Amino acid sequence: MLNLYELAQFAAFADCGTLSQASEKLLISQPTLTRSMRHVEDAFGAALFLRSKNRIELNETGILAAEYAKKLLFEADKAVQAVQAFDKSLRTITVASCAPAPLWVLLPELSQKFPERTISSQLSTAEEIRSAVIKGTCDIGILSAPCTTQDGIKDIPYIKEHLFVCVSEGHALWDRQSVTLHDLNGFNCLLRDQIGFWTELCKQKMPASRFLIQTDEFEFQELVRTSTLLCFITDAVSHPGRYYAGRRCIPVTDPEANVQYHIICSAKNKALILK
């Protein structure tokens, strides 16, 4: 029967051309290779080499056999990788959310409830999240609206998040009790990176505004402190009231800015999201 380890030696010989080079590459002795090549020949049940006294090379059959050997080794490797990947996927809970806030709550909950499993999360669009959950690529999805259309999908309401705009003293909107995104249109804004659907929502509702998207939190805070650019906050962060010194937080009343999140998962994963 074929032996993958010997096939690896055979493939190495096919690449190197001589047993001695192959033995160096494989960190084994030449006699071992001599023997292994005989085993491979026996296993294939055909002559694979042209042997002269001081030289061994593949014959036509050997060249074919070497191709098959490499293919088998490749397939074996693929199999191992696939099995390991599957195994890992079983031990991982993957979450895709349309916004970061619900993750701040959900991820710790999951870690505590499933301490032996790895939690992996990412931000995506609603459509990507829905299809990933349906395909099974993703265990849990978090949307900003119910997911009623799809059969076999479990949907439960989760946390709410309300948007506020933070204006510096003296800003035209300073005295407002509430605003809509439409009112903000035209004012330039600071935004954080990686805030999910919020970015798109702002760009859509405030087409005349420019958005300065900050990746670094320190730089973001510095710009909030030193500029009069608008910025946002929500009640999902720890201290909404006094987060940005010297700024007022005004509720944004658009329905899209006051979100009821929904957790979805496929029916067979429903144990993941039930309390």
Partner DNA sequence: TATTATTACGTTAGGCGTAAAGATT
Partner DNA sequence: AATCTTTACGCCTAACGTAATAATA
Please report whether residue 27 would count as binding a second copy according to CB under 8 A. no
CB under 5 to 8 A by kind: which of a second copy, DNA, none does 252 bind?
none
Could you tell which of a second copy, DNA, none binds residue 2, using a CB distance below 5 to 8 A set by kind? a second copy
User: Which partner, DNA, a second copy, none, binds residue 35 by CB below 5 to 8 Å per kind?
Assistant: DNA
* Binding site partner of 180, from a second copy, DNA, none, Cβ cut-off 5-8 A by kind: none
80 interacts with a second copy by CB under 8 A: yes
- HEC letters along the chain: CCCHHHHHHHHHHHHHCCHHHHHHHHCCCHHHHHHHHHHHHHHHCCCCEEEECCEEEECHHHHHHHHHHHHHHHHHHHHHHHHHHHHHHHCEEEEEECCCHHHHHHHHHHHHHCCCCEEEEEECCHHHHHHHHHHCCCCEEEECCCCCCCCCEEEEEEEEEEEEEEEECCCCCCCCCCECHHHHCCCCEEEECCCCHHHHHHHHHCCCCCEEEECCHHHHHHHHHHCCCEEEEECCCCCCCCCCCCEEEEEECCHHHEEEEEEEEEHHHHHHCCC
The partner in contact with residue 30, picked from DNA, a second copy, none with C-beta cut-offs of 5 to 8 angstroms by kind, is: DNA
Please choose, out of 67-75, 209-217, 249-257, 261-269, the segment that lies near a second copy by the rule CB under 8 A: 67-75
Looking at beta carbons only, is 44 or 220 nearer to a second copy? Answer: 44
Q: Which is nearer to DNA, 29 or 185 (CB)?
A: 29
Residues that bind a second copy (CB under 8 A): 1-5, 8, 43-48, 60-61, 64-65, 68-69, 71-72, 75-76, 79-80, 82-84, 86-87, 90
